[in-house]
Amino acid sequence: MSLKILFTFILFYLLLSISKEDMKYMIISENKLRITAVCGITYLLCIGLTDNKISTMNLIINNIYAMIIIFIMMYSISYISYKLIRINSLGLGDIKLSSISSLWLGIEFTFISLFISFLLSAIYSIYGKTTKGFKSFQQYPFAPFLSIGIFCSWILDKI
Give the model confidence (pLDDT) of 130-143 as tens digits: 887 788 777 889 99
Largest Cα–Cα distance of the chain, in whole Å? 55
Phi, psi of 86 (to 5 degrees): 60, 30
Domain that holds residue 108: 2-158
Instruction: Look up residue 55 and give its DSSP letter.
Output: -
Q: For the chain, what is the domain count? A: 1
Yes or no: say if 14 and 7 are a contact pair by the CB < 8 Å rule: no
User: Could you tell me the pTM of the whole model?
Assistant: 0.93
Share of the chain above pLDDT 70, in %: 99
pLDDT of the residue at 51: 85
For the packed helices 30-50 and 2-25, what is the interaxial angle rounded to 10 degrees?
170
pLDDT of 63 higher than 70: yes
The confidence band for 60, taking pLDDT boundaries of 50, 70 and 90, is: very high
